[in-house]
Amino acid sequence: MSSERNHRVVGSRTKRITAGAIARAALAGILTTAAAAAPAAGDPGAPATAQRPVTDTYHGVRVSDAYRWLEDSSSQEVRDWSAAQNKRTRGYLDSLPQRRPIYNQLLRQISATSSSYYRLYAVGAQVFAFYSEPPKQQPMIGLLTNAADPALTRVIVDPNTINPRGTTAIDWFVPSPDGKLVAASLSDNGSEDGALHLFDVATGKEIVPPILRVQYPTGGGSLAWRADSKGFWYTSYPGPDRPAYEQHFFQQVYFHRLGDAVEKDVYVMGKGLPKVAEIALENRFNAKFVVASVANGDGGEFAHYLIDPNGTVRQITKFQDQIVAATAGPDGALYLISRNNAPHGKLLKLAPGVVDLSQASQLVAESDAVMLSAGQAGGDPIALTAKAIYVRELVGGPSRVAVYDHAGKPRGMLPLPDLASVEEVEPLSDGTLLYSIETYLRPPYFSRYDESVLRSSDTKLVQTSPVSFADAEVVREIVTSKDGTSIPINIVRRTSAKLSGANPVLLNGYGGYAISLTPQFLGASTRLWLDGGGIYVIANLRGGGEFGEAWHQQGALTHKQNVFDDFIAAAEYLIAHHYTNRDHLAIIGGSNGGLLMGAAFTQHPELFRAVVSRVGIYDMLRVERDPNGLFNTTEFGSVKDPELFKALYAYSPYHHVTDGTAYPAIFMATGETDGRVNPAHSRKMIARLQAATNLGRPIYLSINSHAGHGIGSSLSIRVNQSADTYSFLFDQLGMHLAQ
């Protein structure tokens, strides 16, 4: 469900779930049932929703669910209900005088943004990259040279031509070691349900029929070529002969020889791995050896295997070893990031040919900075050249890249501006590296680092935007959470902004899966918000990876309430320090951040004026029953465990909606093809809220039939969703679009 970073790790505190909390949670379930007999005033104008209570018993606690029937997406009744909700929401949004001007401004500014490049992959003197060129709907695969001159870009694969509707996306791509072919996973309608396609680089033509079922959410998919470019290892999922509930699990690895029928592909590994195994194949820095990183669901545990040139598989690490990243270097050695007795990470090395972890030597000791893991957003945590080792590190949200020689001796840092993030470090064949730089207020760009002179220089891979933040600043402040933990927040505002105590403030957070909110260019939508008189705030909450694995664990499993306490502390800080008040504070989040939204407004409905929650998780007792729900049990836990059930029930947003409560205005959005978060969560939560609220503020749901979790959505869908979000917020907070 799935960004990153550092400075200090706060001591872990076990959160007690009291009997009173369970009693209150049980009472919430009873009230859900009672609502059928004595409904609250509710949301005026909302479509009528039948209540058909179903009662489950968990460890002696009876829990009622009045809207279980909304889980059945195949039901015509559910489709009709969804259509009625959509019709109502569109009627509201499309009638807002500012909605069309907001859409037009966003589309104009995003369309005028220059081309951008990301996920660079160097092969010889060629550099493959994702290539985005607004206003085209989808990113393409482009080919550059070491000169990194965008004027020389040649498009290899263009999904906008493959599907002019713009709903086909490239999930990922991998070029062959000889640079003559490129393999890519393509999926439709934001589903991330990908098939493998093989393209000739010289002609751009597809050369063989696609291989199906190589990519699904949440397990993903990957591929690694053999060094001679005559075949590749790839991930595969069970076919249609297996039950539907198994088809997004049990990921395995096969080998395909070019020219052979798919039926001849050879099984390599995967049997015996956990059902929720997520396998990533990698051999970027040494094509002879493939490292298979196996994540145990989404909880941050990894095991590693080495596939040698003849296809032999040997296990290097186990889940309990706490190795969170591994790669093979040009010298044949294995480089590993370990969190064993080092929660911030330390760098280990296994000599060529050695796969016994006990023989590893330590190259770099743990420091205040957090070495990234393989499961976090962005590129590889480690980049290797014949001269140096480059390690991406987090420093509390922003990031840096530390440079070491092959003996582990420090050689400084790659030059960066303040409050920046680096997601890619790509060595080139000419002895230089390209590394990405992104800040909140400047569009992304690449710098070139020359190893021979230890100096960086500008490149032409620079995104330009009609949006300028020259009049804005980012202020990083520290908030004290309920248990005394220090939480950083990043406040983006115009330098001329006056703190009246009533400024419109939009607070964003995530807090889960060790995903960190790193500096990223805020773009057209945040510019629109600032020009409307608003202030934008990003909170680095526990549950993320900003300060290492301890920081993550303090916001996971039975400690999840810490995340919500951190977020509430940030909201209260903004009010206490005269940034805003309760009538002008809005919050926004998606996916796990949608869970955060639900917990925040059910626990403290009085704090917020408006809420935007996208593709969120709300019923924590049923989430593991979702089509891919088991992936989340390593992060949230399972109701099968009594203590974890207590924790889940104590904060589950759906079960803490209370009749007759003055809830803020709420806008939720989901996509019918979302394979990461079941859209049923949004349907049930909206129904419950529409029945319970008593303040007269609207509760809206938008369901897009051509979108999933947001990954792979077309440009037009993304712009329309942003326009919906900001039209809703401007209307609810009384803001006006600046001319």
Condensed to tens digits (0 to 9), the pLDDT of residues 80-115 reads 999 999 999 999 999 999 999 999 999 999 999 999
Assign 23 to helix, strand or coil: helix
pLDDT at 476 over 50: yes
pLDDT at 55 over 60: yes
pLDDT at 73 over 50: yes
User: Cα(545)–Cα(558) distance, rounded to whole angstroms?
Assistant: 17
Instruction: Find the distance separating the first CA and the last CA of the chain, reported in whole Å.
Output: 37
Model confidence pTM above 0.85:
yes
% of the chain surpassing 90 pLDDT = 83
**∠ CA 711-712-718 to the nearest 5 degrees?**
85
pLDDT at 352 over 70: yes
User: Cα(578)–Cα(561) distance, rounded to whole angstroms?
Assistant: 26
Report the C-alpha dihedral over residues 347, 351, 352, 357, rounded to 10 degrees: -70
Cis peptide before 661 (omega within 30 of 0): no
What is the per-residue pLDDT for 41? Answer: 60
Q: In what order do the strands lie in the sheet with 610-614?
A: 472-480, 486-494, 535-539, 505-508, 585-590, 610-614, 665-671, 699-704
> Average pLDDT, whole number, for the chain?
91
pLDDT at 671 over 70: yes
What is the per-residue pLDDT for 33? Answer: 31
Q: Which residues are catalytic?
A: 591, 709
User: Cα(556)–Cα(496) distance, rounded to whole angstroms?
Assistant: 39
**Average pLDDT of span 236-254:** 84
Assign 89 to helix, strand or coil: helix
Residue 265 carries which DSSP code?
P
pLDDT at 461 over 90: yes
For domain 26-74+501-516+532-724, give the CATH superfamily: Alpha/Beta hydrolase fold, catalytic domain (3.40.50.1820)
Q: Are 669 and 614 in contact (CB under 8 A)?
A: yes
